[in-house]
Structure 1
């Protein structure tokens, strides 16, 4: 680093970067998204590393398929671009648990995001697993990596300097030699708490660029100015509105920033999708799970198409740096068609094959059963005389309650609902199907367990003798064997159908007529849908489809009337205001 600039081969260099998370984009589409970043005028790609995606259990580090970070970095290099890597270990990112593996929290004595020996030991293992991927791909070894970020907006969480110092030591110990940075929101308190001497401070913001950069310069008096997260859009929660930002305003803020000579990382350049159960959640008194789409109103939309914001920002960048003459083309509208879901299976008919039931004196958490996403089923026999009220201390996050197989109601964390009435003189089996709707990714509630928390009472008395099972609802081999021609099913059920395509291409599944659930196409989990909105469609990446016959399987939790699967021309992310 120079007195005012980043230096590349000894010459001043401005970083024009865009955020692109490899774990939110199908790997067969990485090259396309990277190329479109270069054609916009960017010279760098930034990505977080999602520790929990690579390490679903301790001792495992998966780099296959969509987790092949090395291949992602090689594609960046092949496009003639640089890379910024943000390995966390905490990343926020609106990603489940902020990227921290849920197994870290099995021992309540583990203190995360602090100088705590057990936590630091796990981080050391994680970084050692990353070393063969990152170290040989640094700029001083002929690779694309120019910067590595330590932690993530730590000043909003804590001020443990020993923790940050140890992270620096661990990252250097594996062989990382490029400059290290931190990022924080540009307030005096956060910038000072979130960094230590020797780390280059950068800022995160999306407006009032000149004011925020001036604040940053006060706390980073020398070296290059950089906004490491220029928020050009925002994320969405279920039950709220879809966020968009004004194109001209976003482009104007970028212009103001670049006019100062500062470097920038657009957050996001391309948001991608929270496939499967990977969405995070926020809880500041009200639990708000993130939607499946991470479109973010970014310059490149969820399906990889340039937006008006792409072109406006490209024009701004062209005032400060060379922009390729080649322009990316937008995709054509997808075909509209319907698929009859002509086979079905009741979820309760296959639960014994989706998980192993164990006996408990009290309801265990999902985490205690070694499951960290999806669903858990609790079952108990009850015998109540008179009015029967079922109460739970806390549900994380949504429990559908059934008595003798009939739906009774929903206990919802989002609405602080903790009790409901069962039939009078209830005698029989009660089931609670609990969904983990996404682990909190920001704040003090990171790492909290899921499922039923605390006691469950019936008629005021604790209810004991439970059977519980974590359900792998993605065991589609089990589901396929159970499918039968459609017949009326009142409760949660799988529904399936097939359709033919002439070629593999992006599709968009309209979910507006369904209730709540999950969709798989050719075994690939598209993620969750929910009538709460705002999101009304799911993105189907072309690489998961094939010419010829394709399969769609829907897990519909609410038992809504039968409806075909409808594919539409494009994304429908919902209303932008109430």
Structure 2
């Protein structure tokens, strides 16, 4: 197969001009059993290409240990897209943003506080190069030059929004080419002077990202690239949600109108997102402009295809615009996935966190509280424990620069919560005999965009009583990657939740498998697992009110549900509903 070429202001493929009509689907946000369904729905909408990021932190969760199976089987996803008749654009990191934890960078980079990210820092580049040594050989057989579906590969991601190290961009470009990537390379940036100056290379195709005003944005792009094809690499047709903020939506008619104007200008386009999917597990990212804002579990994005893969009004509006501009739009639509209300599930067993630290964690002694990364931990929670001397009266307890949310216990009793966006001291009284101090910190997602990317988790500075730092700590890392060793006991009273952070277990019996949605009315904040798969976080403060459960995660017969509740619930049951509630 011939490579995608740029001739003047047009793309050419196999001797003919081509307009790229692409939609973003992230394989790592969709269970593999549904990849084909989502790709077929992309094609049925009139798109000819699928675009995906490749998150470094998913594929190298520990330095030197790589994963390309299951949800991380990027080769299978790309090959499947090609089998279905779709072209593929890949954006293979090292940084992806994507509202994904740490923008796709692995947390273990932060074990070296001096490391400089996304630039010609030798410590950083050695790790990028080692990753590319493994990743690029997996992509090369799938390039169009080798008969595969990959037409184009991105260098870095929106780099002009972060830096201007052209030597770094050139290093990545050369590194891809030296490892056999011989298809079209490109950059993508916002359409501003600063971004286009900092993020592009003179001999590499440039693309732009925006959500509206295409005439204005393309005009700015033309000031820098007067002859190249117009390509909106990220058409933001929806948006993502943060906890504590309203759910975002965008009118489908407005989305269709902007698309119509882009296509009328002769542009190619990539919908970001066509299908958002889900931030399963602890992989949601966060933003930090004026303050820290963590992203919710759902990545529905108000995209044309919903989080659970349903066709929306926006999908139909986009489909008609693509048809108008000559896209190959089949008449039939793929069937929606089945949804089912399984009803209520009672929690019948429990395991208190503080009483079960041993099967979950190997403790570490330290003079000072240390962040997760120093202890080799990337995600989840971390518990800090010490003894405070007394007597002390009305002292201010400061959890200095906590990342991100700390629950503070004195002699086993919750005395307050310190949140990164509202770090107020807690007034404490310590009896003469002293007291045990426990601080449980939740990593709610590393910053994925902007100048605050270096985002270590846990207690990053120290703990003070007034101005006196407290020393001599026992630290329990709690990644919660495996709960199989937890010893659950039968609940004596199924109506009342414990006050301490507690794991609750219940059983769902399934006769027929379908998609469903966990509704957690009466619960406060925590995490849900089904059959050992981490669905993600919930929080009563919203906006998200349900967690999506793809049918393939269920099995006929008995299914185990575990809820880790941080505070307490009014009733120890949850409901499996047939429709989502994103706020």
TM-score by length of 1: 0.97
Give the match's secondary structure for 2:357.
Answer: helix
Structure 1 residue 33 and structure 2 residue 42: aligned? no
C-alpha offsets along residues 17-36 of structure 1, whole Å, 9 cap, x if unaligned? 00001111111111110111
Question: Whole-Å Cα distance in 2 between the matches of residues 248 and 66 of structure 1?
Answer: 34
Q: Secondary structure at the match of 1:353?
A: coil
SS in 2 for 1:439: coil
Task: State the match for 2:26 in structure 1.
Answer: 21
- 1:57-72 → structure 2 map (5 Å cutoff): 57-72=62-77
Instruction: Please say which of residues 549-558 and 458-467 is displaced more in the overlay.
Output: 458-467
Give the aligned partner of residue 549 of structure 1. Answer: 558
Aligned residue for 1:569?
A: 578
- The 3 A distance-change label for structure 1 pair 426 and 529 is farther
* Residue 204 (1) aligns with residue 209 (2): yes
In the alignment, does 2:186 pair up with 1:184?
Answer: no
CA distance in structure 1 between the partners assigned to 2:436 and 2:243 by the alignment: 31
Q: Deviation at 1:342?
A: 1.3
Matched, 1:529 2:538: yes
Structure 1 residues 355-370: aligned runs within 5 Å: 355-370=361-376
With 349-358 and 72-81 compared, the bigger mean Cα shift is at 349-358
- Does residue 339 in structure 1 map to residue 345 in structure 2? yes
State the Cα deviation string for residues 524-546 of structure 1 (Å, max 9, x = none): 10000011200000000111001
Q: Which residue in 1 is equivalent to 2:406?
A: 399
Are 1:539 and 2:548 an aligned pair? yes
The residue matched to 1:214 in structure 2 has which SS?
Answer: helix
Cα distance in 1 for partners of 2:363, 2:301 equals 40
* Cα distance between partner residues in 2 of 1:27 and 1:141: 25
**Is contact 1:350-1:482 (8 Å) kept?**
no
Give the total of aligned pairs: 573
Is 1:365–1:451's contact at 8 Å kept on the other side of the alignment?
Answer: yes
Equivalent position of 2:378 in the other structure: 372
The separation in 1 between residues aligned to 2:34 and 2:282, in whole angstroms, is 20
Give the aligned partner of residue 484 of structure 1: 490
Q: Does the Cα contact within 8 Å between 1:306 and 1:328 map onto a contact in 2?
A: no
Two-structure CA RMSD over aligned residues (Å)? 1.4
State the partner residue of 1:82: 87
* SS, match of residue 75 in structure 1: helix
Q: Please say if residues 238 and 534 of structure 1, whose CA atoms lie closer than 8 Å, have aligned partners that are also in contact.
A: yes
Residue in structure 2 matching 1:131, options 130, 136, 146: 136
Q: Deviations over 1:460-511 (max 9, x none)?
A: 32211110010132432122x2332344522111111111111221010112
Say which of 449, 452, 473 aligns to 1:445.
452
Do structure 1's residue 106 and structure 2's residue 111 form an aligned pair?
A: yes
Q: Which runs of 5+ in 1 are unaligned?
A: none
Tell me the CA shift for residue 332 of structure 1.
Answer: 4.8
Q: Distance in 2 between matches of 1:358 and 1:106?
A: 16
Q: How does 1:424-443 map to 2 (within 5 A)?
A: 425=432, 427-443=434-450
**SS in structure 1 at match of 2:99:** coil
Q: Deviations over 1:37-59 (max 9, x none)?
A: 00000000000000011111111
Structure 1 match to 2:53: 48
Does structure 2 conserve the Cα–Cα contact (< 8 Å) formed by 1:412 and 1:418? Answer: no
Spell out the pairing of 1:318-337 with structure 2 (5 A cutoff).
318-320=323-325, 321-337=327-343
Query: Which residue number corresponds to residue 308 of structure 1?
Result: 313
Structure 2 match to 1:462: 469
SS in 2 for 1:410: strand
CA deviation map 1:119-142 (0-9, x unaligned): 112111111111222101111111
Partner of 1:160: 165
2:3 match: none
Deviation for aligned residue 1:562: 3.0
Give SS of 1:176's match: coil
Range that drifts further, 545-554 or 381-390: 381-390
Alignment check: 8 A CA contact 2:337 2:514 kept:
no
TM-score normalized by structure 2?
A: 0.96
Q: Which whole-Å deviations, capped at 9, do the CAs of 1:243-265 have from their partners, x for residues lacking one?
A: 00011001100111111111000
Structure 1 residue 560, shift from structure 2 partner: 2.6
SS, match of residue 7 in structure 2 = coil
Q: CA deviation at 1:91?
A: 0.5
> Contact 1:510/1:536 (CA < 8 Å) preserved in 2?
yes
| 1:561 shift after superposition | 2.8
Does residue 270 (structure 1) correspond to residue 275 (structure 2)? The answer is yes
CA offsets, 1:132-154, max 9 Å, x none? 22101111111000010111111
Q: Any conservation in 1 of the 2:383–2:477 contact (CA below 8 Å)? A: yes
Question: What is the CA deviation profile of residues 427-480 of structure 1, one whole-angstrom value per residue up to 9, with x for unaligned ones?
Answer: 22110000001000011221321111212112432211110010132432122x
CA offset at residue 357 of structure 1? 1.1
**Structure 1 position 315, deviation (Å):** 0.5
